[in-house]
Amino acid sequence: MSESLQEFRVSNDAIDEAPELRRRMDEEGYLFFRSFQNPDDLAALRMQMLEVCRKGGWVKEGTDLADGIMNLESRCTEGNPEYTDVYHEVYKLPSFHRSGHWPVVLDMMETLFDSPVIPHPQKVTRMWFPQYTAHTTPIHQDFVHFQGAYETLTCWTPLSDCPVELGGLAILPRSHKINTVREHHFSLGAGSLAILESELDDGWVTTNYELGDTLIFTSLTVHRALPNLTPDRLRLSLDNRYSAVNQPIAEQMLTPHLSNHTEFKWDDVYADWEGDEDLKFYWHKYDLDVVPYDDRWSAWGFKEALSRARDGDEAALFYLDRTIKREGDTAHADEARQVLKEYGQVVTAASL
């Protein structure tokens, strides 16, 4: 562990004490549990996901699938069309969606909310390539992306042992106490929005995760991924949201993840399912308070990317080129084309 990173507070000692767990969440903005989820279930899901990655050309030929050794020539990240192609094949796995409904997680969420909860339909997995650090998920709050209610909770779980060098999550304790959304700026990493570290206090916490460890935090808790510094290993994790059934939920959380990057609907997800009927459109049985997506943060991030690209910022130039390839003929893509035309140069991933 880096000297600038400290260890999580482990809350296994209070796992059966609901008032104390709620107090710690309110005070620290997160809860961390050792060996909370079944490691055999997580490992089995990881193997299914890696098999999809192998079919997509991501896994190095001749290596043991369980090792998760990557073909570095296939490196890509969220926002690249080639990433979305493989990601959405993973998204079709019923076992991936089932993991968001495992009783041990739902029971904990109901304890923390003191209410019936709904797992958000938009399940998320992160599949991060090694030695691709410019694209690491930046410092941010989840609310700018997932919205709905501030009280929404995220559950993050690695699908293997995840030492610091593989790139787990780090949390800034008590950062949620501001009780509002902080200013975010353009970033190349997942989500494309970041809080400047210079605007934050020190005190980051993380750990060398073991399979089964689980991190839960609020939508206002400041966090980040650490870079995957391994030579060749993929980092896989589950990254799901939960809220009380009587709280607002944002409309985009009722759609498949990254369906804004390509045409991808629930019928595509369910097309080859045999069974698991209870997971199909399960949210329709709730009388949900669905609220519209607020694009103020994404709009500001894109505007800042345009400005930085005009000044020759390589990350912004790469981001605009990626936007064009992904979106084709949208207004954003047209603006991006104009800026790249003015600049007269495209930045490749290899140069970042």
pLDDT tens readout for residues 275-294: 999 999 999 999 999 999 99
Phi, psi at residue 245, to the nearest 5°?
A: -65, -20
- 91-105: buried (b, 16+ CB within 10 Å) or exposed (e) per residue? bbbbebbebbebeeb
Same domain, 269 and 332: no
Residues 114, 230 contacting (CB under 8 angstroms): no
* pTM, rounded to two decimals: 0.95
Q: Give me the number of domains the chain comprises.
A: 2
Domain end (from 248, 273, 292): 292
Residue 1 falls within a domain, yes or no?
no
**Residue 172 C-alpha from the chain's centroid:** 17
Same domain, 206 and 347: no
Residue indicated by tokens 């804004």: 260
Domain end (from 249, 277, 292): 292
**Residue 270 C-alpha from the chain's centroid:** 22
Same domain, 158 and 45: yes
Alpha-carbon gap, residue 159 to 176, rounded angstroms: 27
Alpha helices in the chain, H assignment, sequence order: 18-28, 39-55, 81-91, 94-98, 103-113, 143-146, 266-270, 296-310, 314-327, 331-343
Sign of the four-CA dihedral 333, 181, 200, 230: negative
Tell me the pLDDT band of 342, cut-offs 50, 70 and 90.
Answer: confident
pLDDT tens readout for residues 137-149: 999 999 999 999 9
Q: How far is CA 221 from CA 84, 125, 319, in A?
A: 27, 19, 26
Same domain, 283 and 333: no
Q: How far is CA 84 from CA 9, 80, 172, 181, in A?
A: 35, 6, 30, 28
Residue 185 has a pLDDT of 97
Domain containing 336 equals: 295-352
The answer to whether residue 106 scores a pLDDT higher than 70 is yes
pLDDT tens readout for residues 174-225: 999 999 999 999 999 989 999 999 999 999 999 999 999 999 999 999 999 9
Same domain, 217 and 228: yes
Residue 276 falls within a domain, yes or no?
yes
User: What's the CATH code of the domain at 183?
Assistant: 2.60.120.620
The answer to whether residue 64 scores a pLDDT higher than 90 is yes
Residue 155 falls within a domain, yes or no?
yes
pLDDT tens readout for residues 23-48: 999 999 999 999 999 999 999 999 99
Lowest mean per-residue pLDDT among 32-41, 125-134, 188-197, 321-330? 321-330
Residues 281, 138 contacting (CB under 8 angstroms): no
The answer to whether residue 98 scores a pLDDT higher than 80 is yes
Which residues, in sequence order, are CB contacts of 265 under 8 Å at separation 6+?
255, 256, 259
For the chain, percent of residues with pLDDT exceeding 90: 89
- Residue 249 three-state SS: strand
Residues 239, 189 contacting (CB under 8 angstroms): no
Which residues, in sequence order, are CB contacts of 163 under 8 Å at separation 6+?
208, 209
Helix axes 296-310, 331-343, angle to 10 degrees: 20
